[in-house]
Structure formats: structure tokens, C-alpha cells
Amino acid sequence: MIEVLTSGVALGVHVPGLLLADRIRDQGGRVSVSVLERLMPPKTLETTAQSKLAFHRDFRVAMAGQKLAGNASRAADPAAVAALFADWQSRQVSRFVVFSGFWLTLLADYLEQHGPVDVDICHVDSVISPSFQKVGTPPYPVRHVKLADADAGTIPCSIPVSRDAPIPWTDRDRRLLVHGGGWGMGTYREYAAQLGSVGFALDVVAYEKQDLTSDGVRYFMIDPDWHPWLDDGYPPFGLAGEAFEQRTGHHGSFDLCRQALATVSKPGGGTLLDSLWSASPLVLLEPFGAHEQRNADLWISLGYGIAFEDWARQDFAVEVLQDLHEALLKAEVPDYSEALL
């Protein structure tokens, strides 16, 4: 029995965990998902939701908040933790796959109480991300699994977002997908206006209704009333103003990514995953911290992405994106879910 440990604080951590669970199930494996925030009292969850909105509205606030964030597991309700530990024990969990470093403190308590269990730390980013940096080295054996490796300049393994082949370049919509990750962070809205002015059709993932400002743009949204700790499904997603659909198999925004000429976004780890499995290149915006800068550097070095400013200097040539797409098509990466089974 495999237990995937995610956190709802970042969809770039949570969604890859859901994808791994689905790919394990596809192969007949037994797996469950635990979300850290389900252990938190309601007041803590309310504060988290408020922070998400503040981080969306001001990227400077988001950058400061990342530096100040502490170990989220310390806010967990002891009764909820005890119930979860009992559930793991009753289901005889034989391996944990950890996507957020804040789980490592709780795992230390579980392993001390119930004995050793195999632990994989799955790094979605290309270097150690802040949640793992803040908790330090765990006091028990772990196996590090890297979905991207900035130091080696490689993609050691990955989690398939979909088994479907990438859409051929000639069959794609001549549109760009523009977003700011799961929390809608960063400078993507300003760049969307510039791209629209040079003639690109745009799909923009808005975070709140007040983001719906530009004519001629297709706006999509995640249901603002949904949070990762409410269920084990992917974020309900759809055209702004229409009904949200909770996609199965993978997240809804990936369907837009597969059809686009490129994604214009900050370089989060989940965004790299979407790019790899859709063969849709990345046009890279300002990163959310040093770890995302390393993500950007890796994608550029592999020929899978380009900085926005560099693309602008080439007059936003579509041929540049096609070259990046063709490089992505050549990527051959081992499937982490197969290795687990």
C-alpha cells in the first residue's frame, strides 16, 4: 500500500501527487492520498485561503510570505494526526511518497511509534524547494526521487500527466496559454496584455472575477470555492462564467496546455511537468523564488523553454516555439510510477 503525501498550499505540489496516484491505479496498484491541510483546524485553513488571495493580488507579498513561512505541520490538530496514524497502520502502508517537506516532521513521529517504512521524497522542482529546506534532513532513511535535476541538467524520471501522445504542431490552435500557477501568482496578467497586442489569441487562467478585464481573451478559472483539502479530485475547472468540471485522470488546464503553441508562466515544478508531457514549450516569466529560477535555467538549457524577453527580441516568432516543441518531442524519460510498482 502506497501513501502519497501532498499539501494543498501549492497545486504544483498537490496535483503531481494526484497524478502519481492515478498512474499507480492505472497499473493496478493500491494507493491513497493524504493532504496535510486536512489535519489543520478551521481557523488555520481560513488563514491559508486569505493568504492565497493576498499572494495573487501582489507578487511582492507572495515573495515575502514564502521567506517567512514556518513548518506548517506544527499547526496540525493532535487528534487528527492520531486518527491518521491509526488509519495508516490499519491499511498497512508500506511506502510513503512525500511531495511536501512539512510532512517529514509528522513522519518522524509515525516511524518512531510504528517502526520503519520506506520513504520516497519526490522533488517536483529541479532543486530542493522551500518546504524541504525549512525542515532540514529527516532523522530516518529516505530515497530522493527527482522529476528534474538542475545540477545534473537532466530529467531523471517523471510522472505522466497523460498517456496520450502530444498533439501535432500543425493541429494545434494558434493560441497561448497564460497563467500564474495554482494560486495565480506573478506578472502573467501584464504579459498577457502585451501578447494580445502583437496578435496572439490567448487562454488566460484567471484567479478571481475581477481578473476578467480584457476583450478578445478566453478566460478560464478554477472553482474559487474549492480547496485541495475538500476532496481527492483535481481542481474543478472551466470557462469563466460557465459550470466547473472536475476532470478525471488529470487536471483540466492540461487540456489547454496540450492544444497551445506555448504556456506563458512562472516556472513552477508542476508547469514543467505539463510542458514535458504535452510537448508544449514554456515562455518563462519571473520566478517565485530561487528554486523556480533554477527550474527556468534547466528548461532553457534543455531547449524546452525561452525567457519572455529573449522571445520578444526575436519578434515573438512562432518558429522559435516550434523548435522548442520539437526538442520536447525527443525527450525520453523513465516513468516513476512504473518504478514504484
Check residue 74 and give its pLDDT: 73
Report pLDDT digits (tens) over 44-89. Answer: 777 666 655 545 455 454 444 444 455 666 778 999 999 999 999 9
Dmax over Cα atoms in the chain, in whole Å? 61
Give the Cα-Cα-Cα angle 150, 34, 247 (nearest 5 degrees).
80
Residue 73 and residue 76: Cα distance in Å, rounded? Answer: 5
Cα–Cα distances in Å, from 310 out to 18, 200, 300? 34, 17, 11
Check residue 130 and give its pLDDT: 87
Cα–Cα distances in Å, from 28 out to 24, 97, 293? 7, 17, 37
Check residue 48 and give its pLDDT: 63
Residue 227: closest CA among 47, 21, 19: 47
Q: What cell was used for 81?
A: 494526526
SS3 state of residue 170: helix
Place of cell 516550434: 322
* Element (DSSP H or E) covering residue 144: strand 143-146
Check residue 62 and give its pLDDT: 46
How many residues in the chain?
Answer: 341
Place of cell 514535458: 276
Contact status, residue 32 vs residue 22, Cβ threshold 8 Å: no
SS3 state of residue 167: coil
Contact status, residue 35 vs residue 7, Cβ threshold 8 Å: yes
Check residue 65 and give its pLDDT: 44
Per-residue pLDDT of the chain (341 residues; tens, 9 = 90+): 999 999 988 888 999 999 999 999 999 999 999 999 999 888 777 766 665 554 545 545 444 444 445 566 677 899 999 999 999 999 999 999 999 999 999 999 999 999 999 999 999 999 999 889 878 899 899 999 999 999 999 999 999 999 999 999 999 988 999 998 766 666 787 888 889 889 899 999 988 777 777 667 899 999 988 989 889 999 999 999 899 999 999 999 999 999 999 999 999 999 999 999 999 999 999 897 889 999 999 999 999 999 999 999 999 999 999 999 999 999 999 999 999 98
* Full set of structural domains in the chain with CATH: 2-160 (3.40.50), 169-331 (3.40.50.2000)
Check residue 144 and give its pLDDT: 97
Q: What cell was used for 52?
A: 492565497
Check residue 59 and give its pLDDT: 47
Check residue 280 and give its pLDDT: 98
SS3 state of residue 284: strand
Place of cell 522548442: 324
Residue 267: closest CA among 254, 290, 285: 285
Q: What cell was used for 49?
A: 485561503
